[in-house]
Chain A
Amino acid sequence: MSIRRLPVYLLLDCSSSMTGQPIEQVRQGIRALLDDLSTEPMAIETVYLSVVTFNSTAQQVILLTELMQFKEPQIQASGATALGAALRLLKDCLNKEVRKNTIDQKGDWKPLVFLMTDGMPTDSWEAAADDLKQQKIANIIAFAAGPGADVNNLKRITEIVLKSDELSPGALKAFFKWMSQSIVRTGKSVQVMAQETPIDLPPPPPQIQIVP
Chain B
Amino acid sequence: MTETAYLENGRTIEYLPEPIGEGTMKEVYFTQDRESVLCFYKGDINKIDPKRLERLRDILKKFNPSVGDKKHADYWAKLFCWPTGIIVKPRLGVITPVYPSNYFFASGRWKGKEKKARWFVSPKLRQLLPVEEQGSWINYFKICIILARAVRRLHTEGLAHSDLSDNNVLIDPASGQALVIDIDSLVVPQIFPPDVDGTPGYIAPEVLATAALRVLDTRKQLANIRTDQHALAVLIYEYLLSRHPLRGPKVHSTRSAEEDEQLSMGEKALFIEHPQDTSNRPKEGLPIPVTALGTTLTELFYKAFIKGLHSPYERPTAYEWERGLIKTWNMLHPCPNPKCTHQWFVVLPEENTIRCPFCQMAIHQPIPLLTLRSEKRPGHWLPEGQLVIYHGQRLFKWHVFDNVFPGPDVDREPQAYFSFHHHRWLLINQTLTSLTSPNGNRVDIGKALELKAGVKIRLSQEAHGCFAEVSMIGGV
Q: Judging by beta carbons under 8 Å apart, are A101 and B253 in contact?
A: yes
B301 at the interface (CB under 8 A from A): no
Q: Verify A45–B125 contact, CB threshold 8 A.
A: yes
Nearest-Cβ distance from residue B267 to partner chain A, whole angstroms: 12
Determine whether the beta carbon of A101 is less than 8 Å from that of B251. Answer: yes
B199 → A minimal CB distance (Å): 8
- Inter-subunit contact A101/B201 (CB<8 Å): no
Are A195 and B256 CB-contacts (below 8 A) given A45-B122, A190-B200?
yes
A109 to chain B, nearest CB (A): 5
Best-buried of A3, A101, A104, A188 by chain B (most CB within 10 Å): A101
A45–B257 touching, CB < 8 Å: no
* Chain A residue with Cβ nearest B254: A101
The reply to whether B208 and A101 form a contact with Cβ atoms under 8 Å apart is no
B104 nearest CB across to chain A (Å): 12
**CB proximity to A under 8 Å, residues B252-289:** 253-262, 265, 282, 284
CB distance from B261 to the nearest CB of A (A): 5
Contact B265 A110 (CB under 8 A): no
Would you call A31 an interface residue if the criterion is a C-beta within 8 Å of the partner chain's C-beta atoms? Answer: no
B404 on interface, CB distance cutoff 8 Å: no
Q: Which residues of chain A from 121 to 178 have any CB-CB distance to chain B below 8 Å in the complex? A: none
For the complex formed, measure the closest distance between the CB of B401 and the CB atoms of chain A, giving whole angstroms: 44
- In the complex, whether A36 has a CB less than 8 A from a CB of chain B is no
Interfacial chain A residues near B253, Cβ < 8 Å? 101
Label chain B's interface by main secondary structure: loop
Task: Establish whether residues B256 and A101, one from each chain, have CB atoms under 8 Å apart when the complex forms.
Answer: yes
Cβ contact within 8 Å between A110 and B262: no
A44 in contact (CB, < 8 A): yes
Tell me which of B200, B201, B243, B255 contacts A195 (CB under 8 A).
Answer: B255
A31 to chain B: closest CB distance in Å? Answer: 16
Using a CB-CB cutoff of 8 Å, which residues 176-198 of chain A contact chain B?
188-195
Given A4-B257, A101-B254, A106-B251, answer yes or no on A189-B128 (Cβ-Cβ < 8 Å). Answer: no
Contact B247 A103 (CB under 8 A): no
Verify if A39 is at the interface (C-beta below 8 Å from B): yes
Are B243 and A1 in contact, with the CB atoms below 8 A? yes
CB distance A191 to B265 under 8 Å?
A: yes
Classify the secondary structure of A's interface with B. loop
Residue of B nearest to A38 (CB): B109
A180 to chain B, nearest CB (A): 12
Contacts of B259 in A (CB 8 A): 194-195
Q: Which of B113, B200, B208, B212 contacts A189 (CB 8 A)?
A: B200
A20 at the interface (CB under 8 A from B): no
Q: Cβ of A4: which chain B residues have Cβ within 8 Å of it?
A: 257, 261
Q: Is the CB of A194 within 8 A of B212?
A: yes
In whole angstroms, how far apart are the Cα atoms of A143 and B476 in the complex? 70
Residue B118, interface by CB 8 Å: yes
Interface 1/0s, chain B 181-204, versus A by CB < 8 A? 000000000000000010111010
> Nearest 10 CB-CB pairs, A to B?
A191-B200, A41-B118, A191-B261, A1-B282, A195-B259, A193-B258, A101-B254, A109-B257, A194-B212, A107-B257
Q: Chain B residues in contact with chain A, CB under 8 A?
A: 109-110, 113, 116, 118-119, 122, 124-125, 128, 197, 199-201, 203, 208, 211-212, 243, 247-249, 251, 253-262, 265, 282, 284
Contacts A/B (CB < 8 Å), 5 sampled:
A1-B284, A45-B118, A190-B257, A192-B197, A194-B211
